[in-house]
Structure 1
Amino acid sequence: MNQSFFKILFAEDNESSAELLIHYLERFNFEVDHVVDGMAAELKLRKNKYDFILLDNMMPVLSGARLANKVPDLNKNTPIILLTASNEKEEVILAAHSKQLVGYILKPFDPDKLLVKIVSVLRIPADMIVDKKKFPFSIERTQNVSYGTGVKLNGCPYQKNAEKIAQEIAFVMKELPGSRKFFIEVSEEFYYHKKAQEILTSLITRLASKYEIKEEDILILSP
């Protein structure tokens, strides 16, 4: 049930480009912290430990190349990839002085190739990388001999929140069973979402309020 997540700091001042890459990486089991300038990146690196660092070179305040050579001690062994344009060769040479730099990628780039590079550098076994899109989320009404009527949450709720899931459960349930108690059966893939437990907690609160029952009247069945 426990899923490994890998934490990435991504510094990129082009927010539209950043959003695309963040969504792509978080489709897999990566957590991404995004900042828009080198100084903000340095502050993050002082306070949080990361598994990987992605630095756009041409950022405001402090360039990626210069930051690569002054990474705070907390992340002094964290591998770095520099994202750079083809006309920034001098900056790439500057960044190359960093022992943490494991490569650079020219823009525009293929996110699949970046993922392969990250997985290779971190030596992540293939069976530890989860593509959430392969586990589409669905809800079905079900019965259990011991617990009565309930719903089963199949797959991973990728890009869904507790409010949306509560609405979908209400649509599937229609109405409560006579006992005014029900269960939620959760698949193993549900926990591929990094906030799975947080979603479940909020889900119980929302459903208890909707049906005007106690939270303990909603039973969670986990694998």
Structure 2
Amino acid sequence: MNRLNLLYVEDDEETVESIDFFLKRHFNEIYIAQDGEQALSFFEEKDPDIIILDINIPKLNGIKLATKIREKNKKVPIIFLTAYSDKDNLLQAIHLHAFSYLIKPFKINELIETIDKCKKEFFCEYSNPNLKKLSQNLIWNKLKKELYFNKEKISLTKNELSLINLFVENDFKFFTPEEINEYIFLNHDLKNNSIIQLISRLKKKITEITSDSEFFIENIYNKGYRLK
């Protein structure tokens, strides 16, 4: 489970020092930001798996920072920290789909338990290496090459399965339509438009089943397609 990366946003150096040792046991990389602007830069550059965010930080407070993060990524789990129990902040954090909310000063074991729970709920592939979580309720079985929604198998075509497998096996890598064409169709003489149509049909099928407008494959201009 230590392959995950953490963005830890806290302006109190004593607090950082007191828990940094424990966090290093649970994460591959830890990016520490002391204000909201620095944290936003880290988020955009490092793409962390989990965020621990103190609400009371300078330049851009935690709620405003989380709002900007949610504009770019609706899924990354955020654990909010605050020095006082503030109902308004709590309601805003919930609205921003906070994973958890801890009141400072908190005990180390409370934070570690929250992190462990977060890993189990959001990153099931670390407890079962054959599973890859594509969204909250979409799970890809790497061994069987099958996609499940709420534990129910989704019927997909051979090409759709190959497409998902390509992205899962090459997480974070961008693929052009030409590269996807070569992988799935073994470089048969097909137009790139066929790949675009394949992805479009898969998106339509998935969103109809899940009743969710989000899709786990994204297209970035001048880069290509990849898993979100």
Give the TM-score normalised by the residue count of structure 2.
Answer: 0.49
SS in 2 for 1:67: helix
Which amino acid in 1 is paired with 2:53?
A: L
Alignment-derived partner of residue 154 in structure 1: none
2:5 to 7, 18, 24: 7
2:194 aligned partner:
none
* TM alignment of 1:1-223, pairs within 5 A: 4-71=2-69, 75-99=73-97, 101-123=98-120, 124-125=126-127
Give 1:4 shift.
Answer: 4.3
- 2:6 touches 2:27 (CA, 8 Å); kept in 1? no
Aligned counterparts of 2:71 and 2:85: Cα–Cα separation in 1: 31
Residue 88 (structure 1) shift: 2.8
Q: Could you list the runs of 5+ residues in structure 1 that have no partner in the other structure?
A: 127-223
- Counterpart AA for 2:65: L
TM-score in terms of structure 1 length = 0.50
Q: Structure 2 regions of 5+ residues with no counterpart? A: 121-125, 129-228
8 Å CA contact 1:52–1:80 kept in 2: the answer is yes
In structure 1, distance between residues paired with 2:44 and 2:27:
23
Q: For the Cα contact (< 8 Å) 1:10–1:54, is it kept in 2?
A: yes
Is the partner of 2:47 in helix, strand or coil?
Answer: coil
CA RMSD of aligned residues (A): 2.3
Give the direction of change, closer, same or farther, for the CA distance of 1:117–1:50 in structure 2 (3 Å limit). Answer: same
How many residues are aligned here?
Answer: 124
Given that residues 46 and 72 in structure 1 are in contact (C-alpha distance below 8 angstroms), is that contact kept between their aligned partners in structure 2? Answer: no
* Change in CA separation of 1:61 and 1:122 when aligned onto 2, cut-off 3 Å: same
Structure 2 distance, partners of 1:87, 1:25, is 24
